[in-house]
Structure 1
Amino acid sequence: MQYYDEQAYQHYQPEYDQNALDAAYYTAPPVFIRQPLNYHLYTPTTHPDFVPAETNTHFVPPSSELRQLLQVRSETIHSIAPAGLKLPEELQGYHTLVPLEPSGTGVERRKFGNWYSTVYRAIRSSDGLPYALRRIENFRLTRQAAFAPIEVWSSLRHPGIISVREAFTTRSFDDNSLVVVYAYHPNSQTLFDAHLKPKPPTYQSRYQHGRQQLLLQAQSTVIPERTIWSYIVQIACAVKKVHDLSQAVRMIDVSKVLLTGQNRIRISSCGIVDVLMHDAVQDMMLLQQEDLTMFGRLVFALCCNNVSAASPPHFQKNLELIGRLYSADVKNVALFLIGKGGPHRNIDQLLDMIRGKVIQEQEEALGATDRLEHELQSELENARLVRLLCKFGFINERPEFAREPRWSETGDRYIIKLFRDYVFHQMDEQGNPVLNMSHVLTCLNKLDVGTDERIMLVARDEQNCLVVSYKEIKACIDGAFT
């Protein structure tokens, strides 16, 4: 570390009391100025022993799959609806509507109570971001006060609940429709579609005695216990947040809880039932007890691969099935949630029962954060070469600058022009352009660092030949750009 004279850097010195300085038996310690970092160089990433990039962790897939997952999500956001759906072009500041649920003949439509419901993706005009719009068909709002619960839900922020944006009524669909706007998570699945929906059979091909045979592959419908616990913890934390605000979720169902990432779930459609049932007088204590009962039905459904697993006719049989497939702790949680409600049963008591699983979930979540930071760190320097190419564009082939028509043909600018030809305009023996991306990236990286490696630059008329280093070319670019 270099030593600097303290007199030259008075602005780095703290203000000391003069009497204290006079009484001191030693002089002020020397000031060490930190050298600026070379931000154009890649920063070493986290040690792989701590963040294994290729390991499939609980919440984050391997690096190769993570990049592909994000690309697919980006592509989904920019997709458009097929022609002929006759959707409105604009809806209260939202445009480019795309249905997110299958529709048409032979498709069973999902309902909210007595009303049919459809989910769309749309772009908000004011910010250009995608949102999910859930439309309740043929619902006539009688009082504006029915929107009061939406104001409460729109202020609630929790990683286990899909955020509510706003709600409004519209006649753009040629009826009286209620529309509630939510945050959009591309390529999400309901727990029903991900785990309970029957999947088509798969076949494995093999050859025996010279003939190809197709063997039917049975797909396991048993959800791993680690995944079950992860779902229980995430839903319990979301319910805890809502109950602490003296509200009720009322949407804990396999068709309303969304799988938005690897083992990552969020409760959707919150607030709609509050608007639909605004005329009914509801006891919040009873609604919160119903939340726990719905939670129990969901646990039964996931463990038994049956939506109606908690129904009375087969309850005891399904309870024994849970005992065979999963540990006694899962069975106890399911019984606690599905049991008779009362003042003694609340979400805090459930969290006390599963506190060990909550700690495990927190460890997995912290590990996922480290993984994602590791992935982000490897992308920090992606704009270096773009900035360098922008400098090239500003400098090269300027028709006139400072009243000098040959500004790009003299001095340092001429060296930059020759280097541009060396990188992008090389020809092979047959006179064809060389389209070698590795050559381009190698040259630009060496230039950005400013290495001492020398290269030979030849003019197009082959009358001039210069031997310069990347360091010298970098100095020419900085000077010309300045």
Structure 2
Amino acid sequence: MVPPSASTPANNPVSQTPSSGQVIQKETVGGTTYFYTDTTPAPLTGMVFPNYHIYPPTAPHVAYMQPKANAPSFFMADELRQELINRHLITMAQIDQADMPAVPTEVDSYHSLFPLEPLPPPNRIQKSSNFGYITSCYKAVNSKDDLPYCLRRIHGFRLVNTKCMVLVDMWKKIQHSNIVTLREVFTTKAFAEPSLVFAYDFHAGGETMMSRHFNDPNADAYFTKRKWGQHDGPLPRQHAGLLPESLIWAYIVQLSSALRTIHTAGLACRVMDPTKILITGKTRLRVNCVGVFDVLTFDNSQNNNPLALMAQYQQADLISLGKVVLALACNSLAGIQRENLQKAMELVTINYSSDLKNLILYLLTDQNRMRSVNDIMPMIGARFYTQLDAAQMRNDVIEEDLAKLDAGVPEKISLISRDEKSVLVVTYSDLKRCFENTFQELIAAANGQL
């Protein structure tokens, strides 16, 4: 008798324990042993399923969801269309090399550099007020993945000690929706002088909080000194230019969430400043230029412990967050100056809730103990759940639409071309069939069957 090979199935009935009374079949295929029973499982008592296939109706929490007032339901909103066009234009923009010969054609593995801000003149001596060095910013395409990135160049910086790369590696591991991710740091001489370059994710169309909210020179009128004999005017109200409190709380939730992630990783933000906070869309915040200070101000005497001063920097982050919130509440950077703090808090007391006032006071007041960003979470309170509820509601709608596509329901939807000149009314079933046919064509092409 010839024994079965490894690829030949072998059935060996094995008796189950007496309590079950079932016979388990044993089958070996390709060296793998499978166990199964011949008996059909007993049906569930009291439960009957239909003998046909049907898609259940939309869940009530989605079917009765109230759409926003004046929300476009057929055509794309003009504001959204313009925003998408601007993002595409910025992403695809290129420079005329003849007009900007100082911009190199290639830097390390990046090419197609495009300045995102006016370039400093060659003989400029004034340095950045934030970093203490002359800086410039470019959009560039990485030749390794053909994706656009943002390059922050530090002019004339020589990296002497590479111990700081430990901190850079820690920053590269942080992934957060409110933090611009740091991808790599490298030195180069492509700009005709030694330079240090930080490569970040590129968010097209983003603008700084400074340009969005603090660009009005008239906003500082309340804090400017008046001539002798003139009295202070009335405190400005929200209808006179102050930001709505709901927007300020939305910013607080995002910034505190970013700080919480950074501090949990053992790092410090150190760039909680309106000039380094990007706003994309209407209210989406992202903390930019993270990790720059950790490299520029690295202390060579702390080679053994580069994280020695992080606790001190984290305390400074909380104070910086308080200044940003106070500036937003006053709609003016003049409100965070020491001589204007009293008037700024009066403005907050009259126009906003006590919760916002207490949060600002807690962040700006020097405590006798080490504070944590988690301490302000109870102060945010229900405002966090407002942001979470809005996100969950969007997820419910998207999940429901994807479920309809997966099931191929006969419900009709409209497909509109980008120029809105062509409209096609189809069903989810039609879309599912198109996706399946396209996928099968891709499989056939990969297998060489086309």
In the alignment, what sits opposite 1:194? 212
SS at match of 2:158: coil
What per-residue deviation string (whole Å, max 9, x for no partner) do you get for residues 315-368 of structure 1? 111111111221111111111111104435211110121121111111122234
Given that 2:315 and 2:370 are in contact with CA atoms closer than 8 Å, whether structure 1 keeps it comes out as no
TM-score, with structure 1 as normaliser: 0.63
Give the distance between the partners of 1:290 and 1:129, measured in 2 at CA. 35
User: How many aligned positions are there?
Assistant: 348
Q: Which residue of the other structure, out of 84, 89, 93, is the alignment partner of 2:105?
A: 89
**Corresponding position: 1:80 with 2:94:** yes
Contact 1:54/1:62 (<8 A) preserved: no
| Conserved 8 A contact 2:178-2:254 | yes
2:252 to 232, 249, 266: 232
**Cα distance in 1, alignment partners of residues 140 and 246 from structure 2:** 35
Tell me the distance in 2 between the aligned counterparts of 1:192 and 1:74: 23
Asked whether the 8 Å contact 1:111–1:117 carries over to 2, the reply is no
Asked if 1:136 is matched to 2:154, the reply is: yes
Larger Cα Rg: Structure 1 or Structure 2? Answer: 1
CA distance in 2, matches of 1:91, 1:341: 47
**Bigger shift: 349-358 or 95-104?**
95-104
Give the counterpart of 2:188 among 165, 170, 173.
170
Instruction: Evaluate the alpha carbon distance shift between residue 370 and residue 177 of structure 1 in structure 2; reply closer, same or farther with a 3 A threshold.
Output: farther
Q: Does 1:159 align with 2:174?
A: no
2:242/2:329 contact within 8 Å kept: yes
Deviations 1:167-225 (A, max 9, x none): 00111111111110111111101111000012799xxxxxxxxxxxxxxxxx9531111
Contact 1:51/1:374, CA 8 A, preserved across alignment: no
2:268 to 244, 248, 251: 248
* 1:231–1:263 Cα contact (<8 Å) kept: yes
Equivalence for 2:414: none
CA distance 1:47–1:300, change in 2 (3 Å): closer
Is the CA contact 2:271–2:287 (under 8 Å) kept in the aligned structure 1?
A: yes
Q: Distance in 1 between matches of 2:81 and 2:404?
A: 12
The question of whether the paired residues in 2 share the 8 Å contact of 1:56 and 1:62 is answered with no
Amino acid at match of 1:292: L
Alignment-derived partner of residue 340 in structure 1? 366
CA contact (8 A) 1:54 1:63 kept: no
One of 255, 264, 289 as aligned partner of 1:269: 289
The aligned runs of 1:256-295 (5 Å cut-off) are 256-279=276-299, 281=302, 282-295=308-321
State the one-letter code of the partner of 1:266. R
The one of 73, 80, 88 equivalent to 1:66 is: 80
Partner of 1:127: 145
Are 1:63 and 1:375, in contact at CA under 8 Å, matched by a contact in 2? Answer: no
- Distance in structure 2 (CA, Å) of the matches to 1:75 and 1:134: 20
Deviations 1:225-247 (A, max 9, x none): 11100001110111111111111
Distance in 1 (CA, whole Å) between partners of 2:296 and 2:327 is: 26
* Counterpart secondary structure, 1:348: helix
Alpha-carbon distance between aligned partners in 2 of 1:327 and 1:120, rounded to the nearest angstrom: 41
Amino acid at match of 2:310: M
Q: Distance in 2 between matches of 1:16 and 1:114?
A: 72
Deviation at 1:79, TM superposition (A): 1.3
Q: Give the Cα–Cα distance (whole angstroms) in 2 for the partners of residues 295 and 30 of structure 1.
A: 57
Q: Which residue of 1 aligns with 2:15?
A: none
Q: Is the 8 A contact 1:168 1:178 kept in 2?
A: yes
Aligned equivalent of 2:168: 150
- Judge conservation of contact 1:53–1:371 (CA < 8 Å) in 2: no
Distance 2:373 2:90 in 1: 37
CA RMSD of aligned residues (A): 4.1
Q: Deviation per CA, 1:355-413, whole angstroms, max 9, x where unpaired?
A: 211111111222344566689999999xxxxxxxxxxxxxxxxxxxxxxxxxxxxxxxx
* Counterpart Cα distance in 2 of 1:68 and 1:141: 42
Alignment CA distance shift 1:362-1:109 (3 Å):
farther
TM-score of the two chains, using structure 2 as the length reference:
0.67
Q: Does 1:100 align with 2:116?
A: yes
Mapped to 2, the partners of 1:163 and 1:303 lie a distance apart of 28
Aligned letter for 2:248?
I
In 2, Cα distance between equivalents of 1:273 and 1:322? 32
Q: Could you say which residue in structure 2 is the equivalent of 1:50?
A: 65
Q: Aligned in 2, Cα 1:377/1:127: closer, same or farther, shift over 3 Å?
A: farther
1:349 aligns with 2:375: yes
Deviations 1:421-468 (A, max 9, x none): xxxxxxxxxxxxxxxx87x969xx79x97xxxxxxxxxxxxxxxxxxx
The percentage of aligned residue pairs carrying the same residue is: 30
